[in-house]
Amino acid sequence: MGALEGLWLGLTVALSPVNLAYCFLGVVLGTAVGVLPGLGPAAAIALLLPATYAMPPTAAIIMLAGIYYGAMYGGSTTSILMNVPGEAASVVTCIDGYQMARQGRAGAALGMSAFASFIAGTFGVLGLMLIGPPLARFALRFGPPEYFALTVVGLTLVSYLGGTSMLKGLSMAALGLLVGSVGIDPISGYQRFTYGLLTLSEGISFVPVAMGLFGVGEVLASAGEPAKREILKTRLSGLLPTRDDWARAGGPLARGSLLGFLIGTLPGGGAIIASFASYAVEKRVSRHPEKFGTGAIEGVAGPEAANNSAATGAFVPLFTLGLPSNAATAMIFAALLLHGLRPGPLLFTESPALIWGVIASMYIGNVMLLVLNLPLIGLFVQMLRVPYPILAPLIILFCLVGAYSVNNSLVDVWILIGFGILGYFIRRLHFDAAPLILALILGPIMENSLRQSLMASRGDFSVFFARPISAALLVLACVLVLLPALRWAVALWARQVAGGIRPVVP
């Protein structure tokens, strides 16, 4: 069945009143899950799964998928308003989104985030529909050496994430790698930095660290500053992105959508990495990289596009190969099983109405999310009118509950508090938290894939250069590292030439 034929069939399924209603319910729940810090889409889908037993399979999957991509819309809300990432994939949005809010441009940031999510979400569904199967087969070629090379590229991006000081950025990244190495070594089984604590043996989870560094750290730092909130200056006209915003966001939107979709389709990729990659790329290509971190709309548009298309991209391996690549798609895999379906390549021929119905519902769901989220912006911005002495403790409370709810673990609460205090000092001493977060995500993947590669090659390092994808990525990493040095050398040379010429001119 061709894509257009399939889409037509899908639309007839998805537009039935029952399926429309469940699609709406799914995206509303997804938005809520996204706004609530801690509670992620995977956990939300798991909790709702038993409730779908009695529903028709198509309606159930439409609703659960809606929760997943809907969460990507809601996740940016608290990032922008309170510097608390509502979703793991919205951590990067904190950097510039929150600065925009502090300048009284919360509405523009929220609006751009909603539009970026819509554009990228729709782009992702188009990609899933048109080039899903060949892309999924290509993504399978990403084995351990390719992931290792990809994480090397990722870590070189650290230099673009930090603020002004390279040294500070690198030291935060080193700290992130250290935090990422806590837990039982996955290959040899040795304990590392667990201090005999059972709860640390699976490592330090990412969510409390991110919420602590950004959310709690920000509250603590603001508590010591004189209150000067610009929010009251925000007028209704400031609720949407301006024409200038749109002009600047065009490139980031396009690049973020594409990058996010490609990273999302990788079996080990994900929305978090996609959003970081997009941010770094935008800062790299921007003519004003110094504006990043001070409220650049590009830093909101790119990552918000990337995390949404990555979420949709994760459906590519699930639907075409039957391989879930993250916790949320694993839940949808389980939901398909529970409804008596075997997710995999045969799903398209065995249950075309279901699979195309779900794909078509994603177009509809994205429209619903945009219509739903735009009016909410005004409401959310009103929240900033709450006096900070009242809002701040509420943010802390949100973070505490959110951190606990991820694993029902008190240890996670202590991790949140510990990293909150670290976040305070990071702000006070003008460090940046983003390189720490990126290194924490990439470090374990990098270590695992390096060791998996070497186990498979029996210790032969040439495996990284013998395979085309990994070789290309490693070359790219070298270029990224050497480029600033090269530029500096060129500038020095140019100055010397200029300096050499000067005496000749009278």
Residue 302's contacts (CB-CB under 8 Å, 6 or more residues apart) are 116, 252, 253, 255, 256, 278, 279, 281, 282
Q: Is 462 in the site for other proteins (CB under 8 A)?
A: no
Tell me the β-bridge partners of 285. Answer: none
Query: Whose CA is closest to 264, among 123, 404, 148?
Result: 123
Spacing of C-alpha 22 from chain mean position = 26
Helix (H) or strand (E) holding 183: strand 183-184
Of the candidate residues 15, 25, 32, 43, the single one contacting other proteins (CB under 8 A)? 43
Q: Is 202 in the site for other proteins (CB under 8 A)?
A: yes
- With respect to other proteins, which residue has the nearer C-beta, 147 or 160? 147
Of the candidate residues 130, 386, 394, 456, the single one contacting other proteins (CB under 8 A)? 456
Q: Is 190 in the site for other proteins (CB under 8 A)?
A: yes
The residue written with tokens 């940031």 in the block is 109
Q: Is 198 in the site for other proteins (CB under 8 A)?
A: yes
Of the candidate residues 3, 32, 184, 469, the single one contacting other proteins (CB under 8 A)? 184
Taking CB under 8 A as the binding criterion, the range among 112-120, 180-188, 257-265, 282-290 that sits at the site for other proteins is 180-188
**Nearest approach, Cβ of 79 to other proteins (angstroms)?**
24
**Gap between the Cα atoms of 28 and 430, Å rounded:** 38
- With respect to other proteins, which residue has the nearer C-beta, 88 or 116? 88
Q: Is 346 in the site for other proteins (CB under 8 A)?
A: yes
Q: Is 343 in the site for other proteins (CB under 8 A)?
A: yes
> Positive or negative CA dihedral for 121, 153, 187, 40?
negative
Query: Whose CA is closest to 295, among 99, 160, 119?
Result: 99
Of the candidate residues 16, 171, 181, 199, the single one contacting other proteins (CB under 8 A)? 199
Instruction: Show the tokens assigned to 65.
Output: 């998928």
Query: Whose CA is closest to 297, among 311, 285, 279?
Result: 279
How far CA 205 is from CA of 25, 38, 181, 342, 418, in Å, comes to 30, 11, 11, 32, 13
Q: Is 337 in the site for other proteins (CB under 8 A)?
A: yes
**Nearest approach, Cβ of 110 to other proteins (angstroms)?**
29
Of the candidate residues 144, 208, 303, 365, the single one contacting other proteins (CB under 8 A)? 144
Helix (H) or strand (E) holding 191: strand 191-192
Q: Is 206 in the site for other proteins (CB under 8 A)?
A: no
Q: Is 317 in the site for other proteins (CB under 8 A)?
A: yes
Phi and psi for 348 in degrees, rounded to 5? -65, -35
Taking CB under 8 A as the binding criterion, the range among 45-53, 68-76, 83-91, 158-166 that sits at the site for other proteins is 45-53
- With respect to other proteins, which residue has the nearer C-beta, 246 or 404? 404
The residue written with tokens 């002495």 in the block is 389
- With respect to other proteins, which residue has the nearer C-beta, 187 or 479? 187
Q: Is 325 in the site for other proteins (CB under 8 A)?
A: yes
Of the candidate residues 338, 353, 401, 471, the single one contacting other proteins (CB under 8 A)? 338
**Nearest approach, Cβ of 331 to other proteins (angstroms)?**
5
- With respect to other proteins, which residue has the nearer C-beta, 202 or 230? 202
Q: Is 331 in the site for other proteins (CB under 8 A)?
A: yes
Spacing of C-alpha 231 from chain mean position = 27
Taking CB under 8 A as the binding criterion, the range among 18-26, 87-95, 223-231, 402-410 that sits at the site for other proteins is 402-410
Q: Is 66 in the site for other proteins (CB under 8 A)?
A: no
Of the candidate residues 16, 103, 294, 407, the single one contacting other proteins (CB under 8 A)? 407
Q: Is 174 in the site for other proteins (CB under 8 A)?
A: no
> Is beta strand 183-184 parallel, antiparallel or unpaired with respect to 191-192?
antiparallel
Helices 298-313 & 106-139, crossing angle to 10 degrees?
A: 40
Q: Is 459 in the site for other proteins (CB under 8 A)?
A: no
Helices 434-456 & 91-102, crossing angle to 10 degrees?
A: 170
Q: Is 230 in the site for other proteins (CB under 8 A)?
A: no
- Segment 16-23 long-range contacts (CB within 8 Å, at least 24 positions apart): 18/56, 18/59, 19/58, 19/59, 19/62, 19/357, 19/361, 20/364, 22/55, 22/59, 22/60, 22/62, 22/63, 22/66, 23/62, 23/63, 23/66, 23/361, 23/364, 23/365, 23/368
**Nearest approach, Cβ of 266 to other proteins (angstroms)?**
10
Of the candidate residues 32, 240, 285, 334, the single one contacting other proteins (CB under 8 A)? 334
Give, as ranges, the residues between 261 and 280 that touch other proteins (CB under 8 A): 267-268
| Residue numbers at the binding site for other proteins (CB under 8 A) | 42-43, 45-47, 49-50, 53, 140-144, 184, 186-191, 198-199, 201-202, 267-268, 317, 321-325, 327, 330-331, 333-334, 337-340, 342-347, 407-409, 448, 452, 455-456, 458
